[in-house]
Amino acid sequence: MRTISIALAVARKDLTSEWRTRELVPALAQFVVLALVIANFGFQFDSHNAPAIAPGVLWMALVFAGLVAFGRAFAAEREQASLEAMLLTPAAPAAIFAGKALAAGLMLVICEAVLLPALALFFGAPLSFDVISAVLLATVGMAVLGCLFAAMVARVRARELLLPLLTLPLWIPFIVVGGQAVQSAMSGSGGGTGQATSLLIDLDILFVVLTSLAARFVLDD
Amino acid sequence: MTSGITRYEKAAVAAVAVMLVAGGFIFFYAPTDALQGPVQRIFYLHVSSAIAAYGCFAAVLLGSIVYLWKENLAADRLARAAALVGLVFTTVTLVMGMIWAKPIWGAFWTWDARLTSTLVLWIIYAGYLMVRRLADPGRQAARFAAVIGIFGFIDVPVVHFSVTWWQTHHPGPVVINNALPLEMLVSFLVTMACTLFLAAVLVAIRYRIEVLTDQAAEKTVPAPIVAPSEAGGAR
């Protein structure tokens, strides 16, 4: 109970500070739309190949937006050295970590709320419940892993360099399974989304448990 | 030390000798594959080095867990040593596989589940070594690397079972399915034993290097800081 209220308090703090500065979310929204523009030139879109390419573009844009979002998750804490202050409180590191991951994940969800309609609008990719649920389920796992490594690289030299190197390999399971789910949902075949959804839930549980166990070693100095 | 030859040098010589024996089995004892021809001989070293890499990464996992649990420096050094050796064996596996794939599949690389997951494995442990270099040496680097060592190991079973879980071009397990003739099986088991010995020797040598590096780091005492007023003749 206490852990949950601490996590919610940390998440609220991050979201409030984002609401006051309005730095990250508008930049992310712009970033994903730009990614779609670049993809248009890179792939030479037309109405024939759009359904086949759209899922790939979705995951590419999401992964790189995620890297930007999680790279910023600990930036303010580092500049103000406020993470140390939070760790001095009796709050459990895992609870603080959960709050940070929750806030960063929510910001990525807001960015998805721009990306998915934009994808539907520009590339004619049909949005269905299966697509949205696959993206949201993948976001859970991507948020906890991204936040864990963001916390780690925040204290390391060359952090911008290291975050993608560490995070991307471990995001691959989500991209593989989520990519399959979105591909079959967008092509309308429908088969396999149920299995992919349950696999995504399994992956989420695995990584939420692992990261909450590891959070203590990464945050605590 | 007084004899001039350390036990590490003896072990290294033994490892080289043992690998030459394995080479003898591969090239002179094992029969040529009827379908694939001489290129099939890559199989012995390819699979053996993959197994050696699994073993090294298991050592990284073990060392990482023990380090986080007990803050045991020896466990951290073991993880450090095994990660590097495991990365070398993963490289050998990938390169050997590509050389085999060119004549058999017609291409060095296909985005097959096993090939892709092995490449991801390589990238994960390369990242592990990067963190070791970039984090502040000591406790922080060891802790961060240990977390990656534990998370990264998730990919090892993925690589191993990829041929069963997905439809792949990669040949399935032939050894445990009794699909090999006796001479091939013997050659494979000999090569595997020799490769595992080589891996163990490399980890032991690397472990020794890590010990010496740590000792050297401890010995370099920072130069005493002397206040200018004291240094420049007080009074």
The answer to whether A191 and A184 have CB atoms below 8 angstroms apart is yes
- A-chain residues near B137 (CB < 8 A): none
Whether residue B228 is predicted with pLDDT greater than 80 in this model: the reply is no
Q: Which of B127, B150, B158 lies nearest to residue A165, judging by beta carbons?
A: B127
- A-chain residues near B135 (CB < 8 A): 155-157
Query: Could you give the angle at the alpha carbon of B134 between the alpha carbons of A145 and A81, nearest 5°?
Result: 70
Whether residue B234 is predicted with pLDDT greater than 50 in this model: the reply is no
Q: Is the Cβ pair B123, A170 closer than 8 Å?
A: no
- A-chain residues near B154 (CB < 8 A): 170, 206
Residue A85 C-alpha from the chain's centroid? 26
Q: Which residue on chain A is closest to B67 by alpha carbon?
A: A217
Report d(CA A137, CA A191) in Å as an integer: 18
According to DSSP, the residues that pair with A72 across neighbouring strands are: none
Residue A51 burial class via C-beta count within 10 angstroms: exposed 0-12, middle 13-18, buried 19 and up: middle
Q: Does an H or E element contain B221, and which?
A: none
The answer to whether A186 and A125 have CB atoms below 8 angstroms apart is yes
Whether residue B162 is predicted with pLDDT greater than 60 in this model: the reply is yes
Residue segments in chain A with a per-residue pLDDT below the cut of 50: none
The pTM (predicted TM-score) of the whole model is: 0.87
Predicted confidence band of residue B232 (pLDDT cuts 50, 70, 90):
very low
Task: Return the closest-CA partner of residue B46 out of B220, B224, B188, B234.
Answer: B188
The predicted-structure confidence for A109-167, as pLDDT tens digits, reads as follows 999 999 999 998 888 888 888 899 999 999 999 999 999 999 988 888 777 888 998 89
Taking the CA of residue B149 and the nearest CA in chain A, the distance in Å comes to: 11
- B-chain residues near A206 (CB < 8 A): 154
Taking the CA of residue B16 and the nearest CA in chain A, the distance in Å comes to: 34
Report d(CA A12, CA A103) in Å as an integer: 7
Q: Is the Cβ pair A170, B151 closer than 8 Å?
A: yes
ipTM value, please give it. 0.85
Residue A82 C-alpha from the chain's centroid? 23
Q: Is the Cβ pair A162, B127 closer than 8 Å?
A: yes
Q: What are the φ/ψ torsions at residue B33 (nearest 5 degrees)? A: -65, 135
Q: Is the Cβ pair A217, B127 closer than 8 Å?
A: no
**pLDDT number for residue A53:** 86
Whether residue B223 is predicted with pLDDT greater than 80 in this model: the reply is no
Q: Does an H or E element contain A128, and which?
A: none
Whether residue B178 is predicted with pLDDT greater than 80 in this model: the reply is no
Taking the CA of residue B12 and the nearest CA in chain A, the distance in Å comes to: 33
Report d(CA B117, CA A202) in Å as an integer: 19
- A-chain residues near B124 (CB < 8 A): 169-170
The answer to whether B126 and B155 have CB atoms below 8 angstroms apart is no
Taking the CA of residue B133 and the nearest CA in chain A, the distance in Å comes to: 9
Sign of CA dihedral B77, B83, B89, B95: negative
- A-chain residues near B150 (CB < 8 A): 210, 214
**pLDDT number for residue B186:** 92
Taking the CA of residue A123 and the nearest CA in chain B, the distance in Å comes to: 26
- Which structural domains are found in chain B, ordered by start? 7-231 (1.20.120)
Query: In Å, how far are A7, A17, A80, A160, B216 from A14, measured between CA atoms?
Result: 11, 5, 13, 21, 44
**pLDDT number for residue A64:** 93
**pLDDT number for residue A190:** 60
Interface residues on A facing B, Cβ-Cβ cutoff 8 A: 145, 148, 152, 155-158, 162, 165-166, 168-170, 172-173, 206, 210, 214, 217-218, 221
Q: Is the Cβ pair B135, A166 closer than 8 Å?
A: no
More confident residue, B171 or B202: B202
Whether residue B230 is predicted with pLDDT greater than 60 in this model: the reply is no
More confident residue, B141 or B98: B98
Report d(CA A127, CA A120) in Å as an integer: 6
Query: In Å, how far are A4, A100, B116, B161 from B167, measured between CA atoms?
Result: 43, 39, 13, 11
